[in-house]
Amino acid sequence: MKWFETIRHSCPTVCQNTGYKFAVPGGINPKATEVRGSESVYYVCATFFSGWRIGYNIDYQRDRCYTGFRKYEHYGELYLCLCTEMPLLGDDTGYIKRK
């Protein structure tokens, strides 16, 4: 998985609500992990893309947000920010199939 920074280096406003994030052991945001160790935070806020819900990662120290895409996907519908609870899958990819 490759991480992309969001345009303007900011997260959707609603995603910054503390009720929409939780800690992921080991961290899945490599840049946040570098700064904060294993305390990287994964936002359960997500956007729809090709039938998938894509979660955001936040790096508090750098005030930037990252989102993951599979290699065949592109930088398209990042800013819809249709937020919904999104638990991690067992393989920690951060993806969950939209029903």
Average pLDDT of each block of 10 consecutive residues along the chain (99 residues)? 37 42 38 41 42 45 43 36 38 38
- At 82 the pLDDT is 35
pTM score of the predicted model = 0.22
In this prediction, residue 25 carries a pLDDT of 35
pLDDT at 32: 40
Closest C-alpha to 7, from 71, 81, 85, 70: 81
pLDDT at 86 (0 to 100):
38
Model pLDDT, residue 72: 39
Q: Which residue has the tokens 């992921």?
A: 24
The pLDDT value given to residue 19: 40
Rounded to 5 degrees, φ, ψ at 5 are -80, 145
